[in-house]
Structure 1
Amino acid sequence: MHHLIHHETVDKALEILADQYCRSTLLCFQEATEDALPIRDLATRVVPGERKNETVVRLHHSTLPRLADAGLIEYDSRSSTVRYHGDQDIEELLATLTDCFAGEEQFCEVGP
């Protein structure tokens, strides 16, 4: 039996998961013990290393609004806090993609 799937829902999910920053952000929250993080802490987890300020800007202007529009996170720009809401379908799809591309270094790592 086939499940009734709305094409817009599938397209939106795949569009979100096509972005390395979105994948990495979602994986950070799935692996975290907290469901809310300051954006600077999240940036350090998304891109470990020296690019923290650049990552904060990218998260603030691009990644977090996309994830918030999809209902996956809530971003309070005044307190610079990101709260993860998650979505079982997105999490399952991300887990499947992660398994499929387990040997691919760049699947969830954000490159220079």
Structure 2
Amino acid sequence: MTATSHPDSDCVDFVLAVLDNLDGCEASAGTVDEAFTLLANHRRRLLLEVMRTYGEELTLPDAAEEVAVRETGRKVTELSAERVHEVYISLYHDHLPRLVDAGLLEYDQERDLVSPAVLR
């Protein structure tokens, strides 16, 4: 193995900080793997960030709009309806169910409302 320089020292620092935090954590390896799997997707992380920012229930269309804003760095008025719809569909069919199953979010399908899960 040869030593090479890594230009992304922020990533290295982050990984080392995570490992330091895991040292004091009592979670099983399976739990850690599940958490990293949930956090591996950027859109899921953005949805969790949106829900933490607001701290209350949002309609899924509003949450999708905010995720699209954060993904693109554009103002909501600069986003196409198609872009927001694509985000909504991916949240509804893929990301939201995973986060609900993990106990991180709650979803009222009848009212199309997403809310942070009540933490234990």
TM-score (norm 2): 0.66
1:55 to 2:87 alignment: yes
Larger Rg: 2
Report 1:1-112 matches (<5 A): 2-32=24-54, 34-48=55-69, 49-50=79-80, 51-85=83-117
Q: Which runs of 5+ in 1 are unaligned?
A: 89-112
Which whole-Å CA distance do the structure 1 matches of 2:25 and 2:53 have between them?
29
Moved over 2 A (4+): 1-5
Q: Which runs of 5+ in 2 are unaligned?
A: 1-22, 70-78
Task: For residue 85 of structure 1, report the CA deviation from its aligned partner.
Answer: 1.6
Which whole-Å CA distance do the structure 1 matches of 2:28 and 2:60 have between them?
32
TM-score (norm 1): 0.70
SS for the counterpart of 1:57 is helix
**In structure 2, do the counterparts of structure 1 residues 84 and 3 end up closer, same or farther at CA, with 3 Å as the change threshold?**
closer
Which structure's residues are more often helix, by fraction?
A: 2
1:47-84 residue CA offsets vs partner (Å, 9 max, x unmatched): 12221111111010001000001000011111110011
**In structure 2, do the counterparts of structure 1 residues 14 and 75 end up closer, same or farther at CA, with 3 Å as the change threshold?**
same
Cα RMSD after superposing both structures: 2.0
Question: Number of residue pairs matched?
Answer: 87
Q: Which has the higher contact order (CA 8 A, sep 6+)?
A: 1
SS for the counterpart of 1:60 is helix
